[in-house]
Amino acid sequence: MEEAKVTEVPHLERRVRKQKEPMAILKTKLSRSLSCSMPRVKTTLTGLFPVVLWLPKYKLKEYIWGDLMSGLVIGIILVPQAIAYCLLAGVDPIYGLYTSFFANIIYFFMGTSRHVSVGIFSLMSLMVGQVVDREVYMAGFDLDDTKADGILNVTVDSDSSAVNLTMGAFGMECGKECYAISIAAAMTFLVGIYQVLMAVFRLGFVSVYLSAPMLDGFATGASFTILTVQAKYLLGLKIPRHQGYGTVVVTWINILSNIQNTNYCDLITSAICISVLVAGKELQERYKDRLKIPLPTELVVVAIATLASHFGDFHRRYDSNVSGAIPTGFIPPKVPSFGLMPRVAFDAIPLAVISFAFTVSLSEMFAKKNGYTVRPNQEMMAIAFCNIIPSFFHCFTTSAALAKTMVKDSTGCQTQVSSIVSAFVVLLVLLFFAPLFYSLQKCVLACIIIVSLRGALRKFRDVPSKWRVSKMDAVVWMVTMSASALISVEMGLVVGVVFSMLCIIIQTQKPKVSLLGQIHDTAHYEDMEEYENLKSLPKVKIFRFQAPLYYANKDFFLKSLYKAVGLEPFLEMTRRRKAEKNAETLAAKEAGRAEKTNGEVKVGLGSRELDLHTIILDCSAMPFIDSTGMQTFKGILKDYKEVGVTVLLASCNTTVIDSLRQGSFFGKADKDMENLSFYTVHAAVRFANDRAASTSELSNPVPRELPSWDL
């Protein structure tokens, strides 16, 4: 009864869908977008500023203590990190504090995640710093760490563009540090503009191409570069910053060549600070269930190291490199230099994509963990304005940071009110405590940066498990990591994306193919290589191709099909012609020896009975086909028909069927569709066997029995 139901499924009629004309669709969208009404204005404003929806519903008694605690902890962590990451960004420490302050406030108004911590991120700082160093070097400034006294008047021709800046806020020409933050601010403004355009045109799908293994490899490779760039500070070496590819290799060669010039004061300080920071991190991880708040190890190290450097006068006595004067208050806002933007327009693209990808992925991850939803497009707008608005206040590119977001989640954060608390802590430092960091050694900041890389560098321990789970993901990780570390961070991103896409193409070029066998007494069929006790059908071959059929894998599809069914039509036709020719030659020789055939020669000797009469193509794992795939189907249908083998299709989805219908695969008006395409493999098998049986009866009719009479 079950088999009868399978074969008696009627041919389904496709639903007719009326498609609107493109102009009508465009007019409708324009009318919706350009219409103005109070409800629409209210919806737009609440969508752009989600804070007006959730802040009135804020549960003060339930949320306030968790938000205060997490905000204070993040603020304490932010201060030393904001100062330290400016070493990576190539700008003065004050600009790191500005960036952390403005980013937290803007995300409070525009973000949809309750837990994400937006601000300075080591990877973003490194990518900004590489561009800043390049442009500062091309402008003729010295890249050493000593600050140039006075104001420089620089006019250098580079790529047919002159560098001659004037700091509008103060009416004076721009020196090295001013030029560096001008480059960073111009690029940050462009990053925000790119992200707004991505949000408007719904280009968030770009982040889909940034796979998790690729991002992990990229972060690990960039961590090597960060560690290398900071290594000279640990040793107190004054070596030039390398520009171009191979930063890791060239920098380590320079470090080893100048190792005899190590500043022992910085070396001893670095060893002590790293030991204390690592010990604090290990204690935090080991007793994280007992500790209600994270240990403020960085702040303690910064405080003690600053006091030791100040009272020990390390800068004058041992020539130790210190942070220098950090002014209090805010510098007047300034419009980013539009003249510098063409120089960094291309560099801002990877920054925009990476910043958005990290922010959205972290938002969705912690939203899922805590049981709420975020809006990815609004997240893109939020991080975009976290770059656009601060660029007017001498800030550089920001992003969500995993480590600080995890700390917020673990310290009881409930809403983005914690970001306001963190911004307040940074504001106190900006207004009152910034000058206290004058004597802080740069090697201490480098230690904070390097210890923060432990999580990324520990990814090496996951490589064996990645290899066991997916060799392709492990290879993507290793290639991206190597390119990011050995070539450059930007090229590592490009190599990672391109290599990931090539891996997908390779997987579709040579996918898994299989012959199917029937599960006994059922209407189901499975791979005969993977399962035991499957029944092979006599004179019917069922072939499954587990990938889309398109121009790149057409040849592999044909070779796999010929090998699986054991019959290649061209070779079979060639064999038959050769056999017929041999038969004619043999018959002619026999006729010459003895004229018994009276000139009649029969050439039936060249034919042979094939061991199959039908090939069924299981298309259930074939999501789509292109025009080349459609022509391939046409070709195998024609070629196998010439050798007496029927080709049937089974389990085609509507996309494949539409492609075949557009190519007239089923004949005029799809007249042969019911005889070529079936909803299930079993229906195709029943049809093939029934037709073979009827053909056999026609070619070999059973003789009727004559009645017997008694004579």
As a whole number of angstroms, the distance between CA 246 and CA 485 comes to: 8
| pLDDT reported for residue 432 | 87
- Residues ≥6 apart with Cβ < 8 Å to 495: 479, 480, 483, 484, 487
Cβ contacts of residue 179 below 8 Å, gap of 6+? 135, 136, 139, 141, 154, 163, 165
pLDDT for the residue 143:
65
Residues in the chain: 711
Question: pLDDT at position 710, please?
Answer: 41
92: phi > 0 → left, psi -120 to 50 → alpha, else beta; which?
beta
The amino acid sitting at 428 is L
At 84 the pLDDT is 85
Contact 580, 606 (CB under 8 A): yes
Q: Which helix (H) or strand (E) holds 161?
A: strand 161-163
Confirm if 679 and 5 have CB atoms less than 8 A apart.
no
> Is 469:207 a contact under the CB 8 Å cutoff?
no
pLDDT given for residue 394 in this prediction? 92
What is the CA angle 699-702-707, rounded to 5? 150
Contact 71, 117 (CB under 8 A): no
Residue-level pLDDT at 172: 39
Query: What's the confidence (pLDDT) of residue 569?
Result: 87
Contact between 646 and 614 (Cβ < 8 Å): yes
Cβ count within 10 A of residue 671: 9
Other beta carbons within 10 angstroms of residue 37's beta carbon come to 8
For helices 442-451 and 60-89, the axis angle rounded to 10 degrees is 120
- Contacts (Cβ under 8 Å, ≥6 apart) of 642: 569, 573
Cα(181)–Cα(178) distance, integer angstroms:
5
DSSP 50-74: THHHHGGG--HHHHHHHHHHHHHHH
Chain-centre distance for alpha carbon 70:
30
pLDDT for res 711: 31
Cβ-Cβ contacts under 8 Å for 110 (sequence gap 6 or more): 48, 49, 50, 51, 378, 381, 382, 385, 386
| Exposed / middle / buried, residue 59 (Cβ in 10 Å: 0-12, 13-18, 19+) | exposed
Dihedral-angle region of residue 537 (phi above 0 means left; psi in -120 to 50 means alpha; beta otherwise): beta
Residue 618: alpha-carbon gap to chain centroid: 32
In this predicted model, what pLDDT tens digit does every residue of 130-163 receive, in sequence order? Answer: 899 888 888 877 766 544 433 333 333 434 333 4
Cβ–Cβ under 8 Å, residues 496 and 217: yes
Domain annotation for the chain: domains and CATH numbers: 61-143+175-240+252-458 (no CATH), 513-567+611-698 (3.30.750.24)
CB atoms near residue 705 (< 10 Å):
6
Phi, psi angle pair for 549, to nearest 5°: -100, 110
With 0-12 CB in 10 A as exposed, 13-18 as middle and 19+ as buried, what is 340? buried
User: What's the Cα-to-Cα distance from 214 to each of 43, 364, 475, 492, rounded to whole Å?
Assistant: 38, 18, 10, 10
Task: Give per-residue pLDDT as tens, 305-361.
Answer: 989 988 888 888 888 888 878 888 888 899 999 999 999 999 999 899 888 888 888
Contact 255, 262 (CB under 8 A): no
Tell me the pTM: 0.75
| CA-closest candidate to residue 549, choices 623, 629, 631, 620 | 629
Q: What integer pLDDT is reported at residue 166 of this predicted model?
A: 41
Ranges of the chain whose pLDDT falls below 50: 1-7, 146-172, 597, 599, 601-606, 704-711
Cα–Cα distance measured from residue 429 to residue 294, given in angstroms and rounded to the nearest whole number? 21
| Alpha carbon distance 644, 537 (integer Å) | 18
Q: Look at residue 335 in the predicted model and tell me its pLDDT.
A: 92
Characterize the bridge pairing of strands 161-163 and 156-158: antiparallel
What DSSP character marks residue 541?
A: E
CA–CA separation, 191 and 185 (whole Å)? 10
Q: Using CA atoms, how far apart are residues 345 and 517, in angstroms rounded to an integer?
A: 58
Number of CB atoms found within 10 A of residue 620's CB = 15
Token pair 């500023």 in the structure block, residue:
49
- Residue-wise pLDDT for 272-299, tens only, equals 999 998 888 888 878 777 776 677 788 8
What is the identity of the amino acid at 202? Answer: R
Q: Give the whole-angstrom CA distance, residue 553 versus residue 508.
A: 7
- For residues 119 and 107, the answer to whether their CB atoms sit within 8 Å is no
In this predicted structure, what is the pLDDT of residue 220? 86
How high is the pLDDT of residue 539? 87
Residues 358, 383: contact at Cβ < 8 Å?
Answer: no
Q: Which of helix, strand or coil describes residue 376?
A: helix
Strand boundaries in 321-468, DSSP class E:
399-400
Q: In the 8-state DSSP scheme, what is residue 432?
A: I
